[in-house]
Every structure is written in structure tokens, then in C-alpha cells.
């Protein structure tokens, strides 16, 4: 097998690793898909923002740049990582809050339809919000049972959608298995049934190329603190296809999403355009680090980022097969790289204890029930040598 050092020498994106805080240390970070590392430029950028923009411009900053930042940054994200034309993406609230707003907007746009389709292995917040909206609006949840080492297939979706379906909610990359859903195919199946689809891009935005416009997606929501390195709690984004923007109305009718915020009029009318999906004052400080990571992804190119991501997960699968399968570890992610996002889950009955030991030894993966060690490989900040070191540590930690 090629040595990890050779793979790092041959990696055209290897130099990007030096731009991340702490990447030169010995800690093995397998959780960049949960909280990406900061870039070294982000610290100075934040300090400069406080001194020059916040401190220097004060409230004038809103007119000069901040009021439009949710949309301008949304357009940058759309161009660099989402395959979407301008005017359809905005940075807003947390993912959870945006999921609520957009699921609610979607079911309201399909009156008379009574079901929301969601899979049993979708991320908890997606399932909880869908259940809450079903309760609130008198709708029924229609569950898709999925293999937890894979995800929603076209056949499974085709079986459950029909004339009663208002909305389908699926993750592009499954948070547990890394299953990469066939977005255009599943979207077509939902559309043939007359339903809207909301795609959760939390585990794909910034690592897997997305073509929202070409795939005819209706609505998408995603995180910015995972592969977009926005920092803990950085605000999420929402995409709404241009054909739907002025048809959907969201339930949190705040002044920033209103037609003329500064008229402060007696009643709410939604803004025309994507700003209508905002509610209150945008979290500007949380948007600053996202800009730095987007610049890096733009520079590297999202297709090259994906190529590195595939090489990293392929390498992790190969090393796990060599080092860990003799100890009884099994792959709980799709074996084919084209069906997999940027992480790999490895199952063993002792993985909960193994994870605790690894954290003590400065190897930081995630644990996911049942028995899953989740290895997140953030393409621009992870090296092949790091993967090898981390998996050797897993071998040592196993009984
Ligand atoms: C991480 C993640 C979330 C997180 O939502 P927050 O509101 O940011 O806590 C939601 N959905 C999926 C699929 C995720 O992976």
C-alpha cells in the first residue's frame, strides 16, 4: 500500500492544511464534520471587525454592509458550493429554526395535502421539527424505514409518496452512515407526486458538490459550522428556488423579513425576494469566519475538494480493513465512494468505550449509536498521515 506520507506528497491540496489553526500539531481531528477547525486568518479578521467595523462604523455599519450581508454571503455560498444562481440563498437563523420555518412554509403551500414524509434515520432535529409541525398543523408523519448503514433509496421514496404528500424531508448526506442520497432522482419522485422537497445539506455543504438549480430542488437548509468552518453556532443558510420564493411565506414574521423594515408600518407584508425568509436582526459576527472558508473552497474548487474527500474516505476504509477488521470492526457506511459523503462510520460493540479512550489520547472522533465510531475527514484540513495515525490509535484502543 502507498504510504500516507507519499499520499500527502502527491495531494494537490496538501498545502491548504497549513491555513488551519492547530493543524500542525499531533492531535488527530476526526470531527471536522461536526465543528470545522478555524482558519488562521479568522482571528485577525474578527479582531479587525471589532476595531474597524463595529467600533469604527458603529450603527452606520448596517447601511454600509451588514444589512445586505445575509444575501451577499448567501450568493457567494450559492456560487461556490451550492450550484445556485444569485437571489435564492440567504444566511439566517440556526439550522433548527430554519428547518421549522421552511417546513412550515412548505406545508402551507400545499393545502389539502396531509402528510410529511421523513426517514427514521434523519438527524433528530429534522425528525422532531417535522413531528412538531405535523402536530401543530394536524398532519400525519409518514416514516421511511431505512438501513442505518445506508439511507433513503428511490424505491423506498416511491413507495410512500402520493396525492397526500405535502412535503418530503431528507438529508443529502446521512449524518450516521454518510449515505449520499440521489438528490435529482428523489426530487423528481417527490415532484411527480405533487409534493415539495426540503433537502438538509448540513453534511454536504462545503465537501460534496451540490447543484441545487440543475437538480430542480425546491428548498434546502444547511449548517455553516461543519464543512464551512463558521465556528460554533454560526448561522445556517436557506435556499429557495426562484420559482417558489414569492409563493412561500414563513411563520416567524419579523421586521427584517418585511417589505419595508424601516417604515415600521402597522402590519407585516413579506419582502419580495429571498430576504422574506429572514426574521430578526442577522447575526453578523457569526458570518465572518464563513467568508474565510468560502474563499478557500473557491480557491481550491469544490470538485477538487470532493476528489480529496473521496481519496481520504477511500484511504480510511482501506486502512480500517487492514488494521481493524481482524479485531471485528465492520464498515457501517456505503462501500462505494460515489454513494458516500465525507465521513466513514466503523462499528464494533466496544466503540463507546473506545471513543472515550481516544479522546484522552488526543484522537477526536465522534460516537454514534449503535456502536459506531464516526470518522469525519474535513478535506482541506485533514492529511492522510493523520488518518493513519488515528486509525492506529483505534487499533490500540480496541480490546
Ligand atoms: C448538524 C445538523 C443539524 C444541526 O442543527 P442546529 O440547529 O445547528 O443544531 C441539523 N440537521 C442535520 C442533518 C445536521 O447534521
User: Which residue among 123, 234, 286 is best mutated to probe the pocket of ligand 1, counting the most ligand atoms within 8 A of its Cβ?
Assistant: 123
Provide, rounded to the nearest whole percent, the portion of the chain with pLDDT above 70.
100
Is beta strand 219-222 parallel, antiparallel or unpaired with respect to 115-119? unpaired
Q: List every span in the chain annotated with CATH 3.90.1150.10.
A: 4-30+301-397
For the question of residue 226 being annotated catalytic, the response is yes
- Average pLDDT along the chain: 97
pLDDT tens digit string along 167-220? 999 999 999 999 999 999 999 999 999 999 999 999 999 999 999 999 999 999
Distance 91 CA to ligand 1 centre (A): 15
Ligand 1 neighbour 125 (Cβ under 6 A) = yes
Marked catalytic residue, from 67, 374, 384, 388: 374
For the question of residue 268 being annotated catalytic, the response is no
- H or E element that contains 368: strand 366-368
Ligand 1, atom nearest to 123 Cα: 13
**With bands split at pLDDT 50, 70 and 90, how would you rate the model's confidence at 92?**
very high
Ligand 1 neighbour 366 (Cβ under 6 A) = no
For the question of residue 100 being annotated catalytic, the response is no
Instruction: Please determine, for residue 1, whether its predicted confidence score (pLDDT) is greater than 80.
Output: no
Angstrom distance (rounded) from CA 391 to CA 93: 36
Question: How many CB atoms sit inside 10 A of residue 265's CB?
Answer: 12
Cα atoms in the 13 Å half-sphere on the side-chain side of 294: 19
Q: List every span in the chain annotated with CATH 3.40.640.10.
A: 45-297
**With bands split at pLDDT 50, 70 and 90, how would you rate the model's confidence at 51?**
very high
Ligand 1, atom nearest to 98 Cα: 7
pLDDT reported for residue 78: 98
Question: How many CB atoms sit inside 10 A of residue 303's CB?
Answer: 8
Distance 73 CA to ligand 1 centre (A): 20
Residue 345 has which C-alpha cell? Answer: 462510520
Instruction: Please determine, for residue 132, whether its predicted confidence score (pLDDT) is greater than 80.
Output: yes
User: Contact 133/151 with Cβ under 8 angstroms?
Assistant: no
Architecture of the 45-297 domain: 3-Layer(aba) Sandwich (3.40)
pTM strictly above 0.85: yes
Distance 286 CA to ligand 1 centre (A): 16
Q: Would you identify the CATH topology of the domain 4-30+301-397?
A: 3.90.1150
Amino acid at each position: 500500500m502507498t504510504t500516507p506520507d507519499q499520499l500527502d506528497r502527491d495531494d494537490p491540496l496538501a498545502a491548504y492544511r497549513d491555513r488551519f489553526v492547530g493543524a500542525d500539531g499531533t492531535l488527530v481531528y476526526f470531527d471536522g464534520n461536526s465543528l470545522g477547525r478555524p482558519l488562521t486568518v479568522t482571528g485577525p479578521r474578527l479582531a479587525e471587525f471589532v476595531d474597524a467595523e463595529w467600533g469604527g462604523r458603529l450603527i452606520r455599519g448596517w447601511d454600509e454592509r451588514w444589512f445586505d450581508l445575509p444575501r451577499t454571503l448567501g450568493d457567494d455560498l450559492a456560487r461556490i458550493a451550492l450550484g445556485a444562481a444569485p437571489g435564492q440563498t440567504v444566511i439566517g437563523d440556526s439550522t433548527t429554526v430554519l428547518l421549522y420555518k421552511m417546513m412550515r412554509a412548505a406545508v402551507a403551500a400545499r393545502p389539502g395535502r396531509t402528510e410529511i414524509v421523513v426517514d427514521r434515520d434523519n438527524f433528530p432535529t429534522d425528525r422532531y421539527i417535522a413531528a412538531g409541525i405535523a402536530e401543530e398543523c394536524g398532519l400525519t408523519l409518514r416514516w421511511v424505514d431505512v438501513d442505518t448503514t445506508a439511507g433513503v433509496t428511490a424505491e423506498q421514496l416511491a413507495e410512500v409518496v402520493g396525492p397526500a404528500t405535502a412535503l418530503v424531508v431528507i438529508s443529502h448526506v446521512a449524518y450516521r452512515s454518510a449515505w449520499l442520497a440521489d438528490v435529482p432522482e428523489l426530487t423528481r419522485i417527490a415532484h411527480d407526486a405533487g409534493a415539495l422537497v426540503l433537502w438538509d445539506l448540513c453534511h454536504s455543504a462545503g465537501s460534496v458538490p451540490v447543484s441545487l438549480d440543475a437538480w430542480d430542488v425546491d428548498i434546502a437548509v444547511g449548517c455553516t459550522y461543519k464543512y464551512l468552518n463558521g465556528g460554533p453556532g454560526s448561522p445556517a443558510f436557506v435556499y429557495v428556488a426562484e420559482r417558489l420564493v414569492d409563493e412561500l411565506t414563513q411563520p416567524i414574521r419579523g421586521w427584517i423579513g418585511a417589505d419595508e423594515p424601516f417604515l415600521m408600518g402597522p402590519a407585516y407584508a413579506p419582502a419580495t425576494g429571498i430576504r422574506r425568509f429572514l426574521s430578526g436582526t442577522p447575526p453578523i459576527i457569526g458570518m465572518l469566519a464563513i467568508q474565510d472558508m468560502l474563499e478557500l473552497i473557491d480557491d481550491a474548487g469544490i470538485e477538487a475538494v470532493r476528489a480529496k474527500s473521496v481519496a481520504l474516505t477511500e484511504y480510511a476504509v482501506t486502512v480500517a480493513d487492514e488494521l481493524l477488521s481482524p479485531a471485528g470492526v465492520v464498515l457501517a457506511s456505503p462501500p462505494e465512494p460515489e454513494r458516500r459523503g465525507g465521513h466513514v462510520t466503523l462499528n464494533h460493540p466496544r466503540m463507546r468505550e473506545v471513543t472515550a479512550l481516544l479522546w484522552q489520547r488526543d484522537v477526536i472522533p465522534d460516537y454514534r449509536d449503535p456502536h459506531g465510531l464516526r470518522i469525519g475527514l474535513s478535506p482541506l484540513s485533514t492529511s492522510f498521515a493523520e488518518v493513519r495515525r488515528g486509525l492506529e490509535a483505534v487499533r490500540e484502543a480496541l480490546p
